[in-house]
Amino acid sequence: MSWKRHHLIPETFGVKRRRKRGPVESDPLRGEPELMQLFPRGLFEDALPPIVLRSQVYSLVPDRTVADRQLKELQEQGEIRIVQLGFDLDAHGIIFTEDYRTRVCDCVLKACDGRPYAGAVQKFLASVLPACGDLSFQQDQMTQTFGFRDSEITHLVNAGVLTVRDAGSWWLAVPGAGRFIKYFVKGRQAVLSMVRKAKYRELLLSELLGRRAPVVVRLGLTYHVHDLIGAQLVDCISTTSGTLLRLPET
Amino acid sequence: MLGFLSARQTGLEDPLRLRRAESTRRVLGLELNKDRDVERIHGGGINTLDIEPVEGRYMLSGGSDGVIVLYDLENSSRQSYYTCKAVCSIGRDHPDVHRYSVETVQWYPHDTGMFTSSSFDKTLKVWDTNTLQTADVFNFEETVYSHHMSPVSTKHCLVAVGTRGPKVQLCDLKSGSCSHILQVVFAGHRQEILAVSWSPRYDYILATASADSRVKLWDVRRASGCLITLDQHNGKKSQAVESANTAHNGKVNGLCFTSDGLHLLTVGTDNRMRLWNSSNGENTLVNYGKVCNNSKKGLKFTVSCGCSSEFVFVPYGSTIAVYTVYSGEQITMLKGHYKTVDCCVFQSNFQELYSGSRDCNILAWVPSLYEPVPDDDETTTKSQLNPAFEDAWSSSDEEG
């Protein structure tokens, strides 16, 4: 019998005194700077803004629905942008808006000074970003509301700011994120295989973090561990010796 | 609970409150009980279960061997140990039995005189319960994955059928025709329909889920197309991009309306379950975490009814995961089956859950009751003596 079900009983009956629970409502905004610190800026020579994944936020905030709602609020306020990372439809990257703007400005404008992209990208950053907080943009939105021509949209795709999703719709993207995604996917597989090769396919968290990271893991073990726990690719079991990470049976 | 009872007695609180609180407490205590069993008749995995909505007494089960069995769930013996017996069954020797696996069975919503069953042999059969004969057979061109008849409707007798083709077909039981087809070339589904479900709130609203990752809500009176295609990202609605809206990132396997019909739950092979507002199609963004789903055909899950916070019971591999519907919290995993669980149904009168799996068993999950208090009789002292050691000699006084 799981202990978890019983906490609903006093709530239903309303008679038992509620035990004071610790801060359950932990704010993702507080957790994100910590996660952003884990992102290795030096690896990409500051060309990429620090990207945090949604699954990492889930590993910090125990209630996922609350985390989702708070992230959505932050997105609506314009503090963060959520970006679709190509390898998995569910993996969303979270970037602070100012970071995104400064990095994209620097890197794209440096790379394409004088080329036709520059104007389109400037226009995009100035008009579309503040106005529309979504992950994706549609054809008629771009042409009618923001006044982009087809050629300008092609420039944006070439510059790496937009990625094609379907005929007539595009995802927001981070230029130069290809390397990050490559390191991320390889690193995730490497950390998972570390757990898989262990006897009984389980490892104590402290032991995992104490091991030397294999060469493939360029983003850091802690970064990947947060992501694995949040994405439920490993089960997190608390034992008397600390947290245990175990591969799920299914 | 005594507080609730006295409050109800004095009129301080609504009687419904006690009922809901006690129902919730019983659902939170669901577990396997050695005293409750369901007779094992099926020789193959069990694909579908349905409990009749009138009394909650009879249960139908359909198996992958094509057999349909009718069980009586009521415990009329005075003992606590009870096996739910099969009242009758449509076995392999019946002339009208389905040739292949039965995918969905459903009681006629208004009484137990009739039930419908659909199967991979491309037919939907309507059975008369008392004589166990087919009253009507509808033939289709493709295998049938799922069918559903509206539980509340009194104005129509339409059965919605989801097949391997992209068109949703509606069969009319009154006239025997299956000519009404819901398919519009641009806005219809593109791959097989894995699940269909009528709304328990409105007579004419139908939800369909397909392998092309889309869930559509239809009003069957409207010929021009679907009402809403559910979009998981809650993007801005515009006609041009209806085609890009997906409800899940994989096939959508199962659909279930909540008992008041205001929300819709969907599960997909992207291992996610989503809760939607059924009036405007908005994703409520409740996050249930990873809900493992490898099923290639439909997954039948169910929602509790009558508790203060509703629960959803989803088959998760060989266990059943229980979540609260509106907050997404996982309550527990019910472990007991040996192989993949395919279907589960909830009996709301007694708060019991019945689940069928590929290991040919139906398990009954019963709220754990208190241990019975031992009786304080003299009979117990006598029965403690093993009859093998009892003295078989009569008393010497009697013989004289």
Residues of A within an 8 Å Cβ radius of B: 1-2, 4-6, 8-9, 12-13, 15, 58, 63-65, 67-69, 72, 89-90, 134-136, 138-141, 165-166, 168-169, 231-232, 249-250
Residue type, position B361, single letter? N
Q: Which of B23, B32, B241 to mutate to test the interface with A (most CBs of A within 10 A)?
A: B241
Q: Mean pLDDT, to the nearest integer, of B98-102?
A: 93
Tell me which residue has tokens 């669901």.
B30
The predicted structure's pLDDT at residue B268: 92
Picking from A64, A89, A168, the nearest residue to B289 by CB comes out as A64
Q: How far is B313 from chain A (nearest CA, A)?
A: 14
Q: What is the mean pLDDT of chain B?
A: 86
DSSP state at residue A199: G
DSSP structural state of residue B240: G
A166–B25 CB contact, under 8 Å: no
Nearest-Cα residue of chain B relative to residue A89: B249
Q: CB-based contact (8 Å) between B340 and chain A?
A: no
C-beta atoms surrounding B107 within 10 Å: 23
Burial of B32 (0-12, 13-18, 19+ CB in 10 A): middle
Query: Closest chain A residue to B340 measured between Cα atoms?
Result: A250
Q: Which stretches of chain B are DSSP H helices?
A: 2-10, 15-28, 379-383, 396-399
Residue B286 CA to residue B326 CA, distance in Å, equals 7
Region of poorest pLDDT, from A135-149, A193-207, B202-216: A135-149
Q: Cβ atoms within 10 A of the Cβ of B260, count?
A: 12
Q: Distance of CA B355 to CAs B30, B155, B194, B340, Å?
A: 13, 32, 20, 11
pLDDT given for residue B353 in this prediction: 94
Place of tokens 């997906």: B246
Dump pLDDT digits (tens) for B41-54: 999 999 999 999 99
> In the predicted model, what is the mean pLDDT of residues B53-62?
93
* Arithmetic mean of pLDDT, B271-291: 90
pLDDT tens column, B65-87: 999 999 999 888 888 888 999 99
Q: What is the mean pLDDT of residues B240-244?
A: 58
pTM of the model: 0.82
Closest Cβ opposite residue B286 in set A65, A90, A165: A65
Residues of A in contact with B289 (CB under 8 A): 64, 232
Cβ within 8 Å, pair B233-A136? yes
Distance from CA of B41 to the nearest CA of A (A): 29
- Convert the pLDDT of each residue in B334-366 to its tens digit: 999 999 999 999 999 999 999 999 999 999 999
Q: CB distance from B113 to chain A under 8 Å?
A: no
Nearest chain A residue to B32 by CA distance is A1
Residue B242 makes CB contacts below 8 A (sequence gap 6+) with B187, B229
- Residue B377 is predicted with a pLDDT of 52
Residues in chain A with CB shorter than 8 Å from the CB of B235 are: 134, 136, 138
Rounded Cα–Cα distance for residues A56 and B258 (Å): 31
**Nearest CB neighbour to A135, from listed B233, B240, B331:** B233
**Residue among B4, B241, B317 minimizing CB distance to A250:** B317
| Averaged pLDDT for residues B360-379 | 74
Count the residues in chain B.
400
The conformation of residue B158, written as its DSSP 8-state character, comes to E
Cross-chain Cβ contact B287/A65 below 8 Å: yes
Interface contact flag, B31 A1, Cβ < 8 Å: yes
Query: pLDDT tens-digit profile of B145-154?
Result: 999 999 998 8
Q: Which residues of A touch B19 (CB under 8 A)?
A: none
Decide if the complex's ipTM is over 0.85: no
Give the contacts of B13 (CB within 8 A, at least 6 positions apart): B4, B7
Nearest-by-CA chain B residue for A71 = B285
The answer for residues whose C-beta is within 8 angstroms of residue A27's C-beta and 6 or more apart is A70
Which residues, in sequence order, are CB contacts of B81 under 8 Å at separation 6+? B34, B35
Chain A residues lying within 8 Å of B290, measured CB to CB: 231-232
Does residue B238 register a pLDDT over 70? no
Provide mean pLDDT across the span A28-49: 69
Cβ-defined contact of A168 to B240 (cutoff 8 Å):
yes
> Quick one: average pLDDT of B156-173?
88
